[in-house]
Structure 1
Amino acid sequence: MISLSARPFIKTVAAAALAAVTLQGAAFAQALPGKGKTVRYAQSDSLGANYVTAQIISRAMKELGYEVKLSTLNTTLFFQAAGQGDLDLATDVNMPQREPAFRAVEKQAELLGSGMIVGGGINGYLIDKKTATAHNITTLVQMKDPKIAALFGKDGRADLINCDPGWSCGDVVDFQLDKFGLKDTVRSVRGKYETLMVEAVARVKRGEPAFFYAWSPSWVNNALIPGEDVVWLPTPEDALPPNVPNRGSALVPGVKGCAGGADPCRMAMSSWNWASVANKQFVAANPAIKTLIEQIKFPLASWSAWEFNINKNGASSANINRMADEWITQNKAMFDDWVAKARGGV
């Protein structure tokens, strides 16, 4: 039998034990803010190093306790799904080119962070260096000359490989062809970009002319090195469709492989970046994800290395996952810091 004098002590011990359990539970919940939750995460159907970063980010979210369901789809479809609450997050939305589509759902979705590429990337028009050198082609507007244009097509017009139908970069290209007076001599070819570019790469490797729109970092500019295999053609002026915001001058200093040695080189537009877009309700309910994404970005050297690897070794799931695992191993302190700060941001 327990004495009356001992009972207050026992109650105190029991209360302390209960408090300890409660604190441990709270600490565990903070350590795993995603426990019991699923992130419906999307990656673009435009294959590239963004698939590697999607795996790195997926692993970080799993460290926070989340289950991650990754889907691959066109960015236009992602915006629709995010606006409807059917998908939660994407971290490879090309901005500013995708901004018009984002604005259509900005009441339901929001931007997180400042972009996945440190310093951003470039985009513009390229031709094979062999033809550029042989015919002294140093600017895009030289395509007005039917003799120059005919070098890149079979019927007197140049075939310009443009972006996929539905990609806003293609709208920029079509607008600029009109603005620069090139529609009579240049044909915009819009199909499955990766498929068209595989053939373009093969043509350049065979020593044949090629004319295409591309961006860097990308697998294209690792398969065809600017300054060695191809050259960027400067545009005559900044020109964007009314629905694409101007984020600054298209004049970019230090562009390797700009035709004629131009520096700065006027690209199709100012620098671009992989932006992160998330459903607003999802962000409100998951502050740890917001804190995580706001920290993450990768240097241009990492993007270029991944693109080179994909071009050389393919884009199998095994290769993508291997690159993600290697990056985490080599940058473990940074990765762990992202996760720790995300836990603390709850």
Structure 2
Amino acid sequence: MSEIKERLRALAEAEGFDAFGVAPVDVSLRRDYYLEWIAGGQHGEMSWLERNNDRRLVPENIIPEARSIICVGLNYYQPEPARRGRIAKYALGKDYHKTITKKLKRICLVMRDELGSAQRPYVDTGPVMEKPIAEQAGLGWQGKSTILLNRENGTWLFLGFIFTTLELPADEPARGHCGTCTRCIDACPTGAITGPYQLDARRCISYLTIEHKGAIPHEYRRAIGDRIYGCDECLDVCPWNRWAKVTREAKFAPRDYPDLRVMLDWDEADFTEAFAGTPIKRSGLSRWRRNVCVALGNVGDAEDLPSLQRIASSDDALAAEHASWAIAEIESRDV
């Protein structure tokens, strides 16, 4: 099976993947920690993380006939554009789910036709414990931020998985190399990394600006700064990124967007057109306005007030409350 594994590695490389490994289906996962994390409510409103744990925590239940899990990584690092309003690097271009799924499906077709095996791809979909499985497949280790760290690509890997009936030689699990470093913990603007390998999603800027549906708690608004979708702070400061390279995937190239002030005046059609095919589209216009208002409250000036005042008097209650907050913040600085 070693020759077959190398054939699959070659297929992954041909698709542009930057990392490849194999884990057994009966992979070792941090089951107790995960269940305690859920029980403590640290997953916030992400209720799907409570469901299907009979499969999430026991991968052999996902596809009972599967014998191996192929894990691949795709580098997505690129410098952030210089503009008001920071977007997490993973969301600067096209939606990675679609891009990686297409690549995995092409590999699955070759596996079926050449090897007669059955398989199913996953890209951040379904009840799969992505980072622990990737660690077991040798792609990297979960750092103190809980992000997967890869020797060659640092923190910047999208992960994809193929559950297959092939019984492939497993790779050695990765060992941690964070040592005494605490840069990610120290850098977190909201203290969401509550300790080594401990993350409270309810305080995380990525969670607050993407997954959280309601008002952003006042205690975190100033810490959000000009971030309008996600946060890369704990990733950016990791010393392992000294070897990070710019992604080769053209689909991840940053899209051009107008200034925050202009985006605040968008209607549904403008929002949909601008973010079609990107991860941002799923947030919806109201949450997007909410995020832009918070950013303007932190970095805006008097020229932004007319746009904020229009939102503050609109029938979008969620955005209106944040616009009023932003207006007060700007006026307090201009006094």
Higher relative contact order (CA 8 A, sep 6+): 1
Higher strand share: 1
Q: Provide TM-score, normalisation by structure 1.
A: 0.23
Q: Provide TM-score, normalisation by structure 2.
A: 0.23
Higher-Rg structure is 1
